[in-house]
Amino acid sequence: MICRTPLTFSVVVVSLALLDIRGALAASQTLDKIREVGKITFGYREASIPFAYIGADQKPTGLSIDLCSTVADKVRAVLRRPELGIEYVPVNASNRIALLQNSTIDIECGSTTNTAERQKQVSFSVATYVASPRWLVSASSQVMEPKGLDGQTIVITQGSLNFAVAKKVIDDQKLNVTIVQAKDHAESLLMLGTGRAAAWFEDDILVAGLVANASDPKEFRMLAATYAPSYYGLMTRREDPEFKALVDAAISEKMASGAFDRLYVKWFERPIPPKGQNLQLPMSQAMKARVMSPSDALLP
């Protein structure tokens, strides 16, 4: 458990702001919509373990779902609508931003990376995870470093930000590879497992999640090479800073109280559904720093 006494400056500021949050949120278009329709709509990923995916009961589950549920509780309190319902809408890497912009969903509960380019279209909450992309290969592969992929086929999930990162690695190392794209992370892993691709390039935690729930996790391994960290956050509409402030407050309060630490252990250091696999990924120093001082900044 991380000690948080005294509270960081950012959390104190959030706490003070919450003293009159109802007045400050009066201009929120998202809250107006939620109030009118009587529900908040979560956009969720179906195969982004452990952030958002379909559980054994065929319902959305994961860390991001838990955090969005915390946001929903705060919305209920702010609107004084304890009966407020939740609607779940599946999204993918290709349509998640569009569905947020056209108000089909009110918040995206997934594993989306915060970038300067995406900030031109949407807003991001304080960081909920710090990730680093890596290569996944078959355990029996002779590839031990990226150079070993020369002349082979690699897979990248359609819409993934890591397409650009992989392209830079390929160009920098002058690799002659064929790039194919899968519709989602599950298909990317399937292509690797069936030999249609020699490697899959994606954020370490997403890779670990899919592998942990594979029929035989020992069939895969990650290459040692790591790349620049990236920061995940919950997405909200760019034109509604008031709603983003509410989301940030909900998450920051979890971090300040220690509740976020417990959620992290639940999803990263304990067996998770549907197969009871343990990701065995303790919180990194970079993530601990964001828990101590919540921020949506793109730099460490």
Q: Which two tokens stand for residue 168?
A: 């830079």
Sheet of 178-182: strand order equals: 178-182, 153-157, 199-203, 133-138, 220-222
CB contact at 8 A, 102 and 37: no
Crossing angle of helices 241-257 and 29-37, in 10° steps, is 90
- For residue 80, count CB atoms less than 10 angstroms from its CB and return exposed for 0-12, middle for 13-18, buried for 19 or more: exposed
Looking at this protein, which amino acid is placed at residue 247? V
Please tell me the pTM assigned to this model: 0.76
d(CA 245, CA 24): 9
pLDDT in tens, 127-176: 999 998 999 999 999 999 999 999 999 999 999 989 999 999 999 999 99
pLDDT digit string, tens, across residues 116-125: 999 999 999 9
Instruction: Please name each of the domains of the chain with its CATH number.
Output: 9-130+230-292 (3.40.190.10), 133-222 (3.40.190.10)
How does the average pLDDT of the chain come out, rounded? 90
Residue 256 reports pLDDT greater than 80 = yes
Distance (Å) of CA 261 to CA 48, 93, 243, 257: 20, 27, 24, 9
Q: Specify whether the CB–CB gap between 231 and 20 falls below 8 A.
A: no
pLDDT given at position 26: 63
For residue 86, pLDDT over 90 is answered with: yes
pLDDT surpassing 80 at residue 255: yes
Arithmetic mean of pLDDT, 175-190: 95
